[in-house]
Amino acid sequence: MKRCIYCLIVVLICLALNGCDKASLMNKMTSPEDKSTAISYIEMLRQNKFDQIENDLDSSIKSPDIRATLVKMANLIPATNPESVRVVGSQIMNGPSVHTANITFEYKFSEKWLLINVAIQKKKGVSTILGFNVNPIPSSLEHMNRFTLAGKGTIHYLMLGLVFLAPLFTLYALVLCIRAKLAKNKWLWIIFIVFGIAKFSLNWTTGQWLITPLAVQFFSAGAFAPAYGPWTLSVSLPLGAIIFLFVRRRIQTSELTTA
């Protein structure tokens, strides 16, 4: 039993570390046609073809100062060709007659990194621009959002410790519950133990935290990172495990007395 648990833990760790190839995942989520259309608008911006862009803007984002906004965005893009371009975000929505694609590209130039977002809508074969943004970033998203202990504070180390301890504590209570001679409500206790209540989440990159009172979490801890996104660690209160450890002897004694 112990060997099975150890093997499962090793497999889960390997899957978390290796994951799937981010670039392949993004390419599968983004159709070549959507990607080509979005890049064509970015090239228009690089070449200062503002009239063509304005002609395809959706009425919802047109404003009197849109030309000035486009000029500012174009000035952020170096004149040299990018060293690499990759999709780092993709949201696709398909309706009965409308197709919407919101794609974010990471552009690497010799001395500059840019995130360029283009949201396009296709309706009856006509493409319009729903959104267009250019934002400089200090480094690649993959580097910025990597899991590292460098420069982290007390709350990061505390969270990291709790994410490891909460499942171990839950597992300890669960094993005791399974081995306990309980004639009644054993399965209810098991369910109560394996789910933590409420959730405290921490964005590992930014240090921002969030408390979600109405939440349950399997084994009272979790870690998740979207492709190119920051890691989010979360921990819940293992209330079921705590209560069981306090009352288990009383429950067993009560059942023996009743028997």
Give every CB contact of residue 115 below 8 A, 6+ residues apart in sequence.
Answer: 88, 104, 105, 106, 107, 133, 134, 135, 136, 137, 141
Cα 107 from Cα 113, distance rounded (Å)? 6
State pLDDT tens for residues 92-123.
998 888 999 999 999 999 889 999 999 999 98
Per the CB < 8 A criterion, the answer to whether 128 and 56 are in contact is yes
Q: pLDDT value at position 244?
A: 92
Per the CB < 8 A criterion, the answer to whether 252 and 234 are in contact is no
Placement of tokens 């209160």 in the chain: 237
Neighbour count for residue 55 (Cβ, 10 Å): 10
Q: pLDDT value at position 11?
A: 38
Give me the domains of the chain, ranges plus CATH numbers: 19-144 (3.10.450), 145-258 (no CATH)
Distance of CA 75 to the CA centre of its chain: 31
DSSP string, 49-65: -HHHHHHHB-TTT--TT
Per-residue confidence of the chain (259 residues) as pLDDT tens digits?
444 444 444 434 544 444 456 667 777 778 889 899 999 999 999 999 999 999 999 888 888 899 999 999 999 999 899 999 999 999 999 888 899 999 999 999 988 999 999 999 998 778 899 999 999 999 999 999 999 998 899 999 999 999 999 999 999 999 999 988 876 788 999 999 999 999 999 999 999 999 999 999 999 999 998 888 899 999 999 999 999 998 887 776 655 455 4
Q: If we measure between CA atoms, which residue out of 60, 52, 131 comes closest to residue 91?
A: 131
Q: pLDDT value at position 126?
A: 83
R_g (Cα) of the chain, nearest Å = 26
- In this prediction the pTM is 0.75
Cα 48 from Cα 73, distance rounded (Å)? 10
